[in-house]
Structure 1
Amino acid sequence: MFTTYQEALDWIHGRLRLGIKPGLTRMEWMMDKLGSPEKKIKAVHVGGTNGKGSTVTFLRSILQAEGYEVGTFTSPYIEQFNERISVNGKPISDEEILRLTNVIKPLADELEGTELGGPTEFEVITAMAFYYFANANNIDMVIFEVGLGGRFDSTNIIQPLASIITNIGLDHTNILGNTYEEIAFEKAGIIKSNTPIFTAVKHPGALKVIEEVADKQSAPISRLNQEFQISGHESIVKGEVFSLKSKSLSLEQLEISMMGQHQTENASLAVLAADYLNQAGFQVTEQSIRKGLKEAYWPGRFEILSEKPLVIIDGAHNQEGITALVHELSSRYKDRNIHIVFAALRDKKLDEMIGMLDGIADQITFVSFDFPRAAKAEELFQISKSASKLAVEDWSSYLLEKMKSLKPKEMLIVTGSLYFISEVKPLITKSL
């Protein structure tokens, strides 16, 4: 038995040594021992490559605006570990984490002695979430974000009311496959029989795979630019405005506070899922949709931490994320001198990501950070073709100095791995 929160956290993180072990057998074993908590939860399942966390947040905010108690399970965290299991956007307490860890640890120890082997870090946290939400009072809905892929992801033991697939990109290719179609097949694994699927996937090959799985599962499908359309998009000072039309909806001038055209797609998926929930025993009004969208906030996604000096953090951790970031910078900040600080995991498509950043940055600095799969600053520096580049080991001292020296027409963008962003945000926030 653990007696402190820190002991519990150390044990959870210690399970990172087991790496990633795709498959549902260990989860099913633990759920059986816990009395099948996953069957006691009303849920929406959200998968995809980018935009999962934002979509979860939009949907949570809409339902919350209607007065529902909404649980969320997300990863990774940006500010504190506990936010991975939250209710109405508020992370559960340290005491709850300690209690849940003490529930799951005996099962992990027992599982370790079987041929299945011990559960991974992610499996432990997922089991904690299922147990917590099934036994918490007055939780009306839980929105589960897929951790990796979909088909063999730990969360994929639920029977949701609806499923969402945000988009498909070439990420985690060493595990999920090297083509859009192979990755789409893994993501499509969350589609359940006769359960509606909402998707913003645009790649033709990937979309075809999702359509085939949906057809096989008799799952009604709603696709961007087919069953629903986004129009009239306009970027405003802090957010986006757009209109959304589907067979059952026609909403003009919807406003979101998250920045980026791609966020209109994530918001639309959340709106469509919320609208569908009207047929599943929930009541979601247009007023709540509008209020929820505008109030939705998700840390680390094109987030302005300071106006003077202008400092933005963005967890653009793969090609799709960098593409969206570069688009926003080129459309919103044409008149600024852009300085980028970048850190990344070694298993990403670094040459293409850095190539895009080289094209937009007036100066780019590559940094190292303490994480098992993190690339070293010098490795990133060697890939870059920028005429104005630096490699720095001590990123925290560098960032603080750089912020002090920024001139009025300059801006600082800190981007790359979400694990890096989770370390950067508290440091910058504290220094302001």
Structure 2
Amino acid sequence: MINKQAATGSSIVVGKQRNYGELVEFLDTNWSASHTAEETASRMKRLDQAFDTISQKRDSILIGGVNGKSLTVHFASRVLREEGLQVGAFYSPHILTYNERFCIDNEVISNKVFTEVGNEVLAVAETLGLVPTSYELLSMMAFVYFNANNADIIILEADQDGFANTFAICTPKIHAITRVNGEDVEFNEEVARPAIDSLLTHVKPGTHVVSADQSKLNLQVMLELVEARGGVWDMPIRKLIPLEYPFEQLHGRCAALAERISSIYINSFVNKGVVVVSKTLLTKLKGQRGRPTLEAKRQSELHPKRTVEQFWKEVSSSLPGRFQILDKEKPSILLDNANNIDAFKNLLLGIRLLHYRRPFKGLTLVLGCNNTTMNQNELLKLLRYFFKKTSGSVIVCPVEKIAGQAGDASWDAEQVTNDIKGMKIKARSAKNFKEAFEVAQKSVDERHGLVVIAGSSSIVTEYWRHKGIKKL
């Protein structure tokens, strides 16, 4: 239960009380509100001040970049939780409900508490004469909710669609960048510098910065910009965490970034007296001179310390909509919200790895895209190469615009289908997702076939709605 007095640090402001449905309706209708970066930063600053500078009451970690942000938040939350910390995680976007964006120790916020927190923030906004956008409201709700529940650390996923200034109020301890380039375009320094500069907006003096990007050029530019801002540059990620097959090659880099984030936080901040840690996988202990005593040896044998390797073997390697395999369905379903070239490369690699382990008897990709900036020619090349090696077909369908999810107008299904056919790939179009899914199910073997649903977060949402699921 939320402690409102603790959350605000002042008397409770009473305004219009919305129920859960009314709050969701407010959020659904305020994504397109016109605003500039400066206006967003100004509103967030005023709200933050009204809540007694709540953004500074808890340590924060910011995760930015193109792909893999939610996975990195998930993995980092799990590692820090293992260290004995209470972790608040703010995700973006959601699939079915806004509740999915708020987790404490991987537990999603309840409808009741979500409504209470939302009403509290809106009441304060009304007294200030502010009408926050949906992302501003959700961001401030995250600070209020996590602070009220005494989270030791808050991990924030920075949405890349123009909402970054909501976190201008933060002074993050760590700023992590997953990937810089999602469209597989050759970056020269002239292109890379402004793109990376926008990702590092919230780096303050003393902020540790670490990245999992693989481009030497991007990392060099990042290093220069971090040092210019007075940040602390940490070594970039080189290795992959050995997750279960096939996730090591798909999500291993995100897991490695999460482990590095956690290690930096534990060793640079927690061990300096911020929080007392009862058990640890990551703390660097001072070496003991000489041989261990017999008692120390005995205790070590009786109570062996859990290792990081053991931890990763037990961690769930996926999230809803991120290479999510539903192998109990007939046929098996694979859901992925890939919506740029880099993400599609990862998706197709994962499908190929699954095929190597157990050859499919039928493979159909249901494709629903709404990212107008994606390089369609590159996607066609990827599909052509993939289907040369792996037999299968594609069904293209339009997707609905879902409030709170990235994406513009749905691609023209007929045109995209013709383009795919031009690559000598078996393809057809469907008038909606329901038709596409029903055709896909019939096109593969019930026991050993695979239906892949990908191209956007919207099509993943449509799958769950088609199944009658209202909450994940």
User: Residue 409 of structure 2: which of 349, 359, 374 is its match?
Assistant: 374
Aligned to 1:103: 120
DSSP 3-state at the match of 1:60: helix
> What letter is aligned with 2:255?
A
Cα–Cα, structure 1 residues 42 and 288, in superposed 2: closer, same or farther, change >3 Å? farther
Cα–Cα, structure 1 residues 27 and 264, in superposed 2: closer, same or farther, change >3 Å? same
- 2:32 aligned with 1:17: yes
**C-alpha root-mean-square deviation of aligned residues, in Å?**
2.8
The 10-residue stretch of structure 1 (256-265 or 63-72) with the greater mean CA deviation from structure 2:
256-265
Aligned to 2:226: 214
- 2:124 aligned with 1:85: no
Aligned positions of 1:22-421 closer than 5 A: 22-23=37-38, 24-109=41-126, 118-136=131-149, 138-148=150-160, 152-170=164-182, 179-224=191-236, 229-230=238-239, 242=241, 254-256=242-244, 259=247, 261-279=249-267, 280-281=269-270, 283=277, 284-285=280-281, 287=306, 289-290=308-309, 292-293=311-312, 294-296=314-316, 297-306=318-327, 308-334=330-356, 335-336=359-360, 337-351=362-376, 352-361=378-387, 362-371=392-401, 373-375=408-410, 376-384=412-420, 385-387=422-424, 388-407=426-445, 408-421=447-460
| Offset of residue 94 of structure 1 | 0.9
| Offset of residue 3 of structure 1 | 3.7
Equivalents in 2 of 1:363, 1:288: separation in Å?
44
Cα–Cα, structure 1 residues 378 and 120, in superposed 2: closer, same or farther, change >3 Å? farther
- 2:37 aligned with 1:7: no
| Offset of residue 55 of structure 1 | 0.5
TM-score normalised per structure 2 = 0.76
Deviations 1:210-250 (A, max 9, x none): 111111133222233xxx531xx6xxxxxxxx4xxxxxxxx
Deviations 1:48-94 (A, max 9, x none): 11011000000101122233221100111124220101111121111
> What letter is aligned with 2:393?
Q
The sequence identity of aligned pairs, in percent, is 20
The answer (yes or no) to whether the contact 1:257–1:295 under 8 Å persists in 2 is no
| Offset of residue 409 of structure 1 | 4.9
Aligned to 1:247: none
Equivalents in 2 of 1:340, 1:178: separation in Å?
37
The answer (yes or no) to whether the contact 2:364–2:444 under 8 Å persists in 1 is no
Aligned length: 397
> What letter is aligned with 1:366?
V
Equivalents in 1 of 2:182, 2:190: separation in Å?
7
Larger Rg over CA atoms: 2
Gaps of 5+ in 2: 1-15, 283-305, 403-407
Cα–Cα, structure 1 residues 427 and 322, in superposed 2: closer, same or farther, change >3 Å? same
**Is the strand fraction higher in 1 or 2?**
1
| Offset of residue 19 of structure 1 | 5.4
Gaps of 5+ in 1: 234-241, 243-253
The 10-residue stretch of structure 1 (54-63 or 301-310) with the greater mean CA deviation from structure 2:
301-310
